[in-house]
Chains A and B, each alone.
Chain A
Amino acid sequence: MLVVKDLNAYYGKSHILQGVNFDVKQGEIVSILGRNGVGRSTTCKAIMGDVEPHGSVMFKGEEIVGKKPHEIAHMGLGYVPENRDIFPTLSVRQNLMLGMKEAGKEGVWKIDDLFDRFPNLKERAENDAGVLSGGEQQMLTMGRTLMGNPELVMIDEPTEGLAPKIVEQVGELLEEIAARGVSILLVEQKLTIALKIAHRVFVMGHGHMVFEGTPDELRANDKIREEWLEV
């Protein structure tokens, strides 16, 4: 469903992505792991067209390099950024409403379902989203992207800085997303959730992939883990 071939991206003169190759199949959960600064977020942004991509990105059989971010989103690709980027001056409900691509058009995901799932958000539905805790903000950003009915969602470090209890909730939501047939590209640094739910994992080195395999294969591969993952 998503095939990335020889993807390159730059910030000014620095060459950040140096030929990234990977793919996500329909209904699959794929995780990209790697240390800080190797270019995982840049990969997501380049795919979304937020950072200028060079190379090829096929989504549902169509080349999306050169398309604008909003066009890519409309094709069914969703992105949950790592810094969460909630709209702080809008209410929780308004944030969710902006996730819908057309006014008042809920799809598979409904605001009320989400509120049932996360009573904290429901309680603060009319409050400014800026006052939410880190965990609540994470749920809100994921919920917001889901309101747009993505067929594939790229989620960038959803568990960063969250308490173990919340991390667990994030994991559950990810599983539910997958259960509804949405493909997931999960960018992570910690292995816990990724190895538990992913079908395949990629390890990113400096600007390109250095490993591809199943979670079991990664567990068995001490060399890759030592060289590219453990701090």
Chain B
Amino acid sequence: MAELIIFSLLHGLVYGLLLFMLASGLTLIFSMMGVLNFAHASIYMLGAYVAYTISQYVGFWPGLIIAPVVVGLFGALVERYGLRHVHKYGHVAELIFTFGLAFLIEEFVQLIWGKQTVGYHEPAVLAVPLFEMYGQTFPAYKAFMLLVSVAIFIVLLVVLTRSRVGLIINAAITHPSMVSMLGHNVPMVFMGVFGVGSALAALAGVIAGPSLGTSPGMAVLLGPIVFVVIVVGGLGSLIGAFVASLLIGMMTTFAVAIDYSFGQFFMDVGLNMDPDGVLSDLYTVTIAQLGPIMPYMLLVLILIFRPTGLFGTREV
């Protein structure tokens, strides 16, 4: 039991913080520009592939730095020369634009790198177990992922709450035109936020690639969950995104570890069920099998009982 809790906690933390790296950019972009960026997860995937290619030539570590920078610049250009022009046609046009971008990136990735999972691996130093407990090992690479995402979280927090740029971003979330009339270049701040948000997504992709597999499906695997995270946390709320990321991260990893079925539950609470009855299929469903749909169940519950999300102020 202790083993299950410790390992699930650790894995949940790794997964949750990875989600946060994506969700933080997505929710910031949304709250500043009012755009739900459907291409965000595709940018995450692009980060992994770009880093993979760089790692082929100069190794893992340079890729870890260069790929987010390259993809971040790409994001900034997308905002400057794409989104900014689409903006005047309204939010629907912007939404469709990011949709198109998501497909474009996906096709591009398949064109360049193919449909198969590419062999993007962690560096040898990290391809070892960090520690062993109750016969289970915890990989050093997961600890590294944890380290990177915690560092990013701290940097983000400090920049947003302590720096002048953070002040400008916070003010521009509610009053963009007032901020620019005080002499701050708000369009450039928007471009910067989009760029940095993309870079963070790419960095998430870079560190997730060797662990979760670098394949054309990785965007679709994580994208919907990240949307769930920002809706559950409250659109536009960074704290909400953080809490929801960890919540969903923990929930999914714990669920996977629990081998407990409804039939078992009914038996434990003293109800005797007919194992061959009409509902017998339901009885054999285990919590582990429910794991992947749990975020969506949470989403539905939140939308019913708290449409603004946990920390949000506006309704979805």
Give A contacts to B, CB under 8 Å. 48, 50, 68-70, 72-74, 79, 81, 85, 87-90, 94, 97-99, 101, 103, 144-145, 148
The 8 lowest CB-CB distance pairs between A and B, nearest first, are A73-B183, A101-B183, A85-B178, A87-B171, A69-B180, A70-B180, A69-B181, A70-B185
Determine how close the nearest CB of chain B comes to the CB of A46; give it in whole angstroms. Answer: 12
CA of A125 to CA of B308 in the docked complex: distance in angstroms?
Answer: 30
Q: Does B179 reach chain A (CB closer than 8 Å)?
A: yes
Give B contacts to A, CB under 8 Å. 164, 167-168, 170-171, 174-175, 177-187
CA of A145 to CA of B184 in the docked complex: distance in angstroms?
Answer: 12
- In-complex Cβ contact of B182 among A88, A90, A145 (8 A): A145
Chain A's closest residue to B186 (CB) is A70
Q: Is the CB of B175 within 8 A of A85?
A: yes
CA of A79 to CA of B185 in the docked complex: distance in angstroms?
Answer: 16
Given contacts A69-B177, A87-B170, contact A97 B182 (CB under 8 A): no
CA of A48 to CA of B182 in the docked complex: distance in angstroms?
Answer: 10
CA of A193 to CA of B168 in the docked complex: distance in angstroms?
Answer: 34
Listed residue (B180, B181, B187) with the most chain A CB atoms within 10 angstroms of its CB = B181
Listed residue (A50, A69, A97, A101) with the most chain B CB atoms within 10 angstroms of its CB = A69
Determine how close the nearest CB of chain B comes to the CB of A138; give it in whole angstroms. Answer: 15
A-B contact count (CB 8 A): 58
Chain B's closest residue to A95 (CB) is B171
Q: Is the CB of B181 within 8 A of A98?
A: no
Given contacts A70-B186, A85-B175, A103-B164, contact A90 B170 (CB under 8 A): yes
Taking CB atoms, residues of chain B closer than 8 Å to A90 are: 167, 170-171
A-B contact pairs, 29 of them (CB 8 A): A48-B181, A50-B177, A50-B180, A50-B181, A68-B185, A68-B187, A69-B180, A70-B180, A70-B181, A70-B184, A72-B181, A73-B181, A73-B183, A85-B175, A85-B178, A87-B170, A87-B175, A87-B178, A89-B174, A90-B167, A90-B170, A94-B167, A98-B168, A98-B171, A99-B182, A101-B182, A101-B184, A144-B182, A148-B183
Taking CB atoms, residues of chain A closer than 8 Å to B175 are: 85, 87
Taking CB atoms, residues of chain A closer than 8 Å to B167 are: 90, 94, 97-98
CA of A73 to CA of B185 in the docked complex: distance in angstroms?
Answer: 10
Chain B's closest residue to A44 (CB) is B181
Q: Is the CB of A79 within 8 A of B184?
A: no
Q: Is the CB of A70 within 8 A of B177?
A: no
Q: Is the CB of A97 within 8 A of B177?
A: no
CA of A216 to CA of B133 in the docked complex: distance in angstroms?
Answer: 90
Q: Is the CB of B182 within 8 A of A148?
A: yes
Determine how close the nearest CB of chain B comes to the CB of A127; give it in whole angstroms. Answer: 15
Q: Is the CB of A89 within 8 A of B170?
A: yes
Determine how close the nearest CB of chain B comes to the CB of A225; give it in whole angstroms. Answer: 32
Taking CB atoms, residues of chain A closer than 8 Å to B177 are: 50, 69
CA of A144 to CA of B177 in the docked complex: distance in angstroms?
Answer: 15
Taking CB atoms, residues of chain B closer than 8 Å to A97 are: 164, 167
Taking CB atoms, residues of chain A closer than 8 Å to B174 are: 87-89
Taking CB atoms, residues of chain A closer than 8 Å to B179 are: 87, 98
Taking CB atoms, residues of chain B closer than 8 Å to A50 are: 177, 180-181
CA of A98 to CA of B175 in the docked complex: distance in angstroms?
Answer: 12
Taking CB atoms, residues of chain A closer than 8 Å to B187 are: 68
Taking CB atoms, residues of chain A closer than 8 Å to B164 are: 97, 103
CA of A50 to CA of B186 in the docked complex: distance in angstroms?
Answer: 12
Listed residue (B175, B183, B186, B187) with the most chain A CB atoms within 10 angstroms of its CB = B183
Determine how close the nearest CB of chain B comes to the CB of A8; give it in whole angstroms. Answer: 20
Taking CB atoms, residues of chain A closer than 8 Å to B186 are: 70
Q: Is the CB of B180 within 8 A of A98?
A: no
Taking CB atoms, residues of chain A closer than 8 Å to B184 are: 70, 98, 101
Q: Is the CB of A79 within 8 A of B183?
A: no
Taking CB atoms, residues of chain B closer than 8 Å to A144 are: 182
Taking CB atoms, residues of chain A closer than 8 Å to B185 are: 68, 70
Determine how close the nearest CB of chain A comes to the CB of B217; give it in whole angstroms. Answer: 39
CA of A183 to CA of B164 in the docked complex: distance in angstroms?
Answer: 29
Listed residue (A50, A85, A90, A94) with the most chain B CB atoms within 10 angstroms of its CB = A85
CA of A79 to CA of B167 in the docked complex: distance in angstroms?
Answer: 20
Taking CB atoms, residues of chain B closer than 8 Å to A79 are: 181
CA of A101 to CA of B168 in the docked complex: distance in angstroms?
Answer: 11
Determine how close the nearest CB of chain A comes to the CB of B156; give it in whole angstroms. Answer: 17
Q: Is the CB of B182 within 8 A of A73?
A: yes
Chain A's closest residue to B163 (CB) is A103
CA of A85 to CA of B182 in the docked complex: distance in angstroms?
Answer: 11
Taking CB atoms, residues of chain A closer than 8 Å to B178 are: 81, 85, 87
Q: Is the CB of B183 within 8 A of A74?
A: yes
